[in-house]
Amino acid sequence: MKVTVFVSPKTTVLDPQGAAVEQAMKSLGHETVESVRVGKTVTFEMSGEDSPEVRSKLDELCDGLLSNPVIEDYRFEIEEG
Amino acid sequence: MKVAILQFPGSNCDWDAEHAVQDVLNVPAKRVWHKSGLPAETEAVIVPGGFSFGDYLRCGAIARFSPIMLGLKEFVEKGGQVLGICNGFQILCEAGLLPGALVRNDCMEFRCLNQSLRVENSNDRFNQSKFGSAISLPIAHGEGNYRADETVLAELEANAQVLLRYEGNPNGSINDIAGIRNQAGNVYGMMPHPERAVEPHHPCQDGLPVLDAFLEPIRKNNPIELSAS
């Protein structure tokens, strides 16, 4: 199965990258754009099938390594096959 | 050997830290590779600056899982004293040995300058009577913007855990925080580089009293007593 982890800066944490990108978007004329946040995605293949055990392992992985709970939120998607 | 200086792939202030401690301050020091254990005779640890593991994922995120970090955690639990400088500070935060996290500078620029700092009355060792109220030290970082939630920040301030604050904030750090300690008082972290301010040809020598204060307990062969605040 294919796993995609989405990591984004917490809404309460200042995101200088998002602010700079928002500024660039506005300077290109996209005045209606707001609240830009820049995060990252991590994709990987994993053997096994979607199950509560696998999801709990993924939480462990996301909380410890792939994201820092002090400044980031995460969610993941699992694609079977 | 008294001071262990941890080396991760991408550490680049390890030799400077060793030079400052051993050659300038005359305290025996040794660089220790991250895959080793922490030597049994270690009396203090410096986690030096650099770009451990290329800063991939987040600064310090991968170094946190290096084998030597297990030994470091035990060392801290036993009251051993640790100083994290720049990337070392980021690693200690990622490892949960210091509260908060360091994110991208709000100016989006890498900041490299001799920075004016205000010294706080933190505890017996790191305070204005040792350094004076104002010092300057080199900074060189892209991710030195200290962040902590309101509760953690309130605790830091209430317990006088802030060591140094920026005069003229270079990176957007909350409450101008440049360096902190843990509540127990044995783990220190700072973005400025005291090891780059110890020689007459350096921009200043204000790093000497900072490192000296950190090394004071082991110089006296008298490890620090932990206090609750």
| Residue at B214: amino acid letter | F
CATH number of domain containing A19: 3.30.1280.10
In a domain, B8, yes or no: yes
Query: CA-to-CA distance for B210 and A72, rounded, in angstroms?
Result: 33
ipTM of the complex: 0.87
- Give me the residue from B101, B105, B107 closest to A68, CB to CB: B101
- Which residues make beta-bridge pairs with B1? none
| Per-residue CA distances from B218 to B32, B209, B214 (Å) | 18, 15, 9
- B57–chain A Cβ distance below 8 A for any pair: yes
In chain B, % of residues over pLDDT 70: 96
CATH number of domain containing B39: 3.40.50.880
In a domain, B224, yes or no: no
What is the average pLDDT score of chain A? Answer: 95
Number of domains in chain A: 1
Catalytic residue status for B195: yes
Answer yes or no: are the C-beta atoms of B177 and B189 closer than 8 Å.
Answer: no
Catalytic residue status for B59: no
DSSP characters over B104-144: --TT-S-EEEEEEEEEP--SSSSSHHHH-SEEEEEEEES--
Query: CA-to-CA distance for B120 and B98, rounded, in angstroms?
Result: 18
Domain of residue A7: give its range: 2-79
pLDDT at position B93 is 98
Q: Do A13 and B103 touch (CB under 8 A)?
A: yes
Q: Do A9 and B58 touch (CB under 8 A)?
A: no
Q: Is the dihedral of CA A14, B145, B179, B92 positive or negative?
A: positive
Q: Do B108 and A71 touch (CB under 8 A)?
A: no
Is residue A1 classed exposed, middle or buried when 0-12, 13-18 and 19+ CB atoms within 10 A define those classes?
middle
Which of B98, B104, B141, B149 should be substituted to probe chain A, the one whose Cβ sees the most A Cβ atoms within 10 Å? Answer: B104
In a domain, B215, yes or no: yes
Answer yes or no: are the C-beta atoms of B84 and B99 closer than 8 Å.
Answer: no
Please name the residues in contact with B161: beta carbons below 8 A apart, sequence gap of 6 or more. B122, B155, B180, B181, B182, B183
In a domain, B227, yes or no: no
pLDDT at position B218 is 87
In a domain, B34, yes or no: yes
Domain of residue B199: give its range: 3-219
Number of domains in chain B: 1
- B113–chain A Cβ distance below 8 A for any pair: no
Per annotation, catalytic residue among B13, B43, B59, B86: B86
Residue B5, pLDDT above cutoff 90: yes
**Secondary structure letter of residue B50 according to DSSP:** B
The nearest alpha carbon in chain A to B174 belongs to A14
In a domain, B229, yes or no: no
The nearest alpha carbon in chain A to B148 belongs to A70
Answer yes or no: are the C-beta atoms of B214 and B208 closer than 8 Å.
Answer: no
In a domain, B109, yes or no: yes
In a domain, B143, yes or no: yes
Query: CA-to-CA distance for B68 and B46, rounded, in angstroms?
Result: 13
Residue B92, pLDDT above cutoff 60: yes
Residue B228, pLDDT above cutoff 50: no
Residues comprising chain A, all counted? 81
Instruction: List B residues 149-208 in contact with A (Cβ-Cβ < 8 A).
Output: 149, 172
Residue B221, pLDDT above cutoff 60: yes
Q: Do B61 and A65 touch (CB under 8 A)?
A: yes
Mind listing the pLDDT tens digit for each residue in A15-48?
Answer: 989 999 999 999 999 999 999 999 999 999 999 9
Catalytic residue status for B202: no
Q: Do B149 and A14 touch (CB under 8 A)?
A: no
In chain B, % of residues over pLDDT 90: 91
